[in-house]
Structure 1
Amino acid sequence: MKQLLLLITCLLSLTVSSQSKSKTIHVFVALCDNVNQGIVPVPAKLGNGQDIKGNLYWSALYGVKTHFKNSKDWTLVSSKKDIGNHILERVLFKHKTTNTYLLADAYDGKYIKQTTIDFLEASAGRNPIAITHKEQTLQFGGDAQLVSYIGHDGLMEFNVQGNFKPINDKKRDAIILACISKDYFKPYLKQTKANPLVWTTGLMAPEAYTLKWAIDGWILNETDAQISERAAKAYHQYQKCGLKGAKRLLVSGY
């Protein structure tokens, strides 16, 4: 009996240890929307903010879901549609060689303002989300170590209000891939006290290769400068914009 109890205790200890070592990322995607966002219109299929199929920032070739699904480094664990709160689809990915999980939410493009608020509140440590996978409880929302916003920079057109005061002093990194995100998100991120790991100084295409390359460095615990350089290299590789220009565009810190 003592040996059995000892074995159970060891197994429980290993489970807790495994959970504590997991790293989590939560990506908030505002679907591209020709009608409801102040963007230069894209082809109708790419810019239907109420349809995840073919949307530029979700199911297109370089959309978040498609790009990570096609990646050799990530495995799609689950996909759920119409989960509420204006989220049309939620996908969970696991990194193939580390205990890192990525949760991505596709928001109806009409509700870009709510997407922005939800991202900022998460960057303040609020609205935690717990998801169970293989007897492991994974923490997302405000409990994720890295949060990201992908899409049009709606702050060019509106201001937002929310619970942006940090709930604790835990370090949370933030990646904001949207046009001129450093200027427009800075006042809010200073409130949430999240670390601006990568954001932008000019116009850009917020496609998933930039996010993926930045996350590659984050998983390896690289410095902020190394991670932002990875993002710049990705952007140059896909956009052919020149590496110097990409480095000026994608930066870290205030």
Structure 2
Amino acid sequence: MLTVVLLSLLAVPPVEVEVFVPLCDNALLQCGRPPAGAPRALETNLYWGAMYGAERFLSRAPGFKMVSREPGPEGAAILRELVLERTAAKGERPVRLRLRAYAGDAIDTALEDFLRAAAGASRADLLVWAGHDRLMDREPPRVAAPPGATPRPVVVLACTSEQYFGPVLKTLGASPIALTRTLMAPEAYLLEALASTVARHGPTEPKAMRTALVEAYARYQRISLRSAGSVFSKLPPSEVALPGAVAPVSRSKP
């Protein structure tokens, strides 16, 4: 009994990752066949129920287990909330993913919720947007965080998110960990790579995150690492280790 109590006290809490997934909507972009772009069709939607959709892919991914799967209220913007946990290997932390499927025709609600969370309304360790870049179509909504809130680290998996989300996140005080520079597919193998990186390196390591996203994108899109690297934003100079660089020798006298 004492051993069980001690183990529970020593248990490492999971890293909490909150993922906002607005379903693909053929009224906003070309999602493919009509079922893939039906904005409230969870089982067939490109971003949720398709082969590389969030629920279908992650619920079958090795090392992930489903904790809960709850429908949203009838007629609400959130159609389903899915909680998955990634089992930690030696030297890793467990990761809990909370994914919210928003109706594609309620993407503006998803956007407001995401930006409000990024400003500090959420207490998750990392926030992720995975879907259409709605800011390509409209002006940013005005959001306000609760007084004293702490802005969160964020990843935005959407087309050219550096250009459209970057300035907005900066005004909110949020910390972008990974953004994109080109058109791209915000598919769930990127969420798998993200979760694995968080388990090994924590939620705020841009270099490790970018490397994992680039490698996953190259593998599943069947393109070169160089081509995949062009999709994701470059690291700031402080995060890039120059080959052969050495620390400068101090010339000051003691």
The TM-score normalised by the length of structure 1 is 0.81
Which segment is superposed worse, 175-184 or 76-85?
A: 76-85
Amino acid of the residue matched to residue 27 of structure 1?
V
User: What is the CA-CA distance between 1:78 and the residue it aligns to?
Assistant: 1.0
User: What is the CA-CA distance between 1:171 and the residue it aligns to?
Assistant: 6.4
Which segment is superposed worse, 25-34 or 97-106?
A: 97-106
Q: 1:25 aligned to 2:27?
A: no
Based on CA coordinates, which of the two structures has the bigger radius of gyration? 2
Amino acid of the residue matched to residue 129 of structure 2?
Y
Secondary structure in 1 matching 2:166: helix
Structure 1 stretches (4+) deviating beyond 3 angstroms? 13-18, 164-171
Q: Which runs of 5+ in 2 are unaligned?
A: 237-254
Residue 193 of structure 1, aligned match among 173, 198, 209: 173
Q: 1:244 aligned to 2:226?
A: yes
Q: 1:48 aligned to 2:33?
A: no
Tell me if structure 1 keeps the 8 A contact 2:151–2:172: no
| Aligned-residue identity in percent | 30
Tell me if structure 2 keeps the 8 A contact 1:179–1:200: yes
CA distance in 1: counterparts of 2:62 and 2:211, whole angstroms:
21
Tell me if structure 1 keeps the 8 A contact 2:214–2:228: yes
User: What is the CA-CA distance between 1:42 and the residue it aligns to?
Assistant: 1.2
Secondary structure in 2 matching 1:143: coil
User: What is the CA-CA distance between 1:168 and the residue it aligns to?
Assistant: 4.5
1:91-170 equivalences in 2 (<5 Å): 91-97=82-88, 98-126=93-121, 142-164=122-144, 168=148, 170=150
User: What is the CA-CA distance between 1:165 and the residue it aligns to?
Assistant: 5.0
User: What is the CA-CA distance between 1:166 and the residue it aligns to?
Assistant: 7.5
Tell me if structure 1 keeps the 8 A contact 2:24–2:31: no
Aligned to 1:65: 55
Query: How big is the alpha-carbon RMSD for the aligned residues of Structure 1 and Structure 2?
Result: 2.4
Tell me if structure 1 keeps the 8 A contact 2:18–2:128: yes
CA distance in 1: counterparts of 2:69 and 2:225, whole angstroms:
35
| Structure with higher strand content | 1
Secondary structure in 2 matching 1:250: coil
Q: Label 1:61 to 1:112 Cα distance change in 2 as closer, same or farther (>3 A).
A: same
Tell me if structure 2 keeps the 8 A contact 1:196–1:252: no
CA distance in 1: counterparts of 2:225 and 2:16, whole angstroms:
29
User: What is the CA-CA distance between 1:170 and the residue it aligns to?
Assistant: 4.4
Q: Label 1:188 to 1:166 Cα distance change in 2 as closer, same or farther (>3 A).
A: farther
Secondary structure in 2 matching 1:124: helix
CA distance in 1: counterparts of 2:144 and 2:234, whole angstroms:
20
CA distance in 2: counterparts of 1:83 and 1:221, whole angstroms:
36
Q: 1:179 aligned to 2:159?
A: yes
What is the CA deviation profile of residues 145-172 of structure 1, one whole-angstrom value per residue up to 9, with x for unaligned ones? 0110011111111113233458547463
User: What is the CA-CA distance between 1:211 and the residue it aligns to?
Assistant: 2.1
CA distance in 2: counterparts of 1:111 and 1:58, whole angstroms:
15
CA distance in 2: counterparts of 1:230 and 1:71, whole angstroms:
16
